[in-house]
Amino acid sequence: MQKQKKVPQRKCIVCQTRDAKKGLIRVVKNKENEIFLDPTGRANGRGAYVCANQECMTKAIKSKALNRAFRTDVDDQVYEHLLSQLEKLEEKAGE
């Protein structure tokens, strides 16, 4: 009888739903205060997880969820950049 591997669980900072780590997108703030999407889930820095859909990302923009997660002010330009990065990732997944 084989042992089952544990699937790492993470919680979306917007809708508070738990899902497998691979089912969510990681947003990272590194030491240079750059904020970006990390599709690999391995980039250095503080990470926050958001559902991999545009609904949760737009809710994160409205509620300023990343401001609370990273304990800093996040510019609206950064939120727009994250939204465009998410759209590109969704397009690649759809191909």
**Taking the domains of the chain in order of start, what are their residue ranges?**
9-94
DSSP 1-12: -PPPPPPPEEE-
Q: Of all helices (H) and strands (E), which one includes residue 27?
A: strand 24-29
* Sign (positive or negative) of CA dihedral 95, 93, 60, 67: negative
The string of pLDDT tens digits covering residues 68-86 is 999 999 998 999 999 999 9
Residues 10-28 have a mean pLDDT of 94
pTM, to two decimals: 0.88
The string of pLDDT tens digits covering residues 51-68 is 988 899 999 989 999 999
CATH architecture designation of domain 9-94 = 2-Layer Sandwich (3.30)
Look at residue 62 in the predicted model and tell me its pLDDT.
93
Instruction: Report the SS3 class of residue 77.
Output: helix
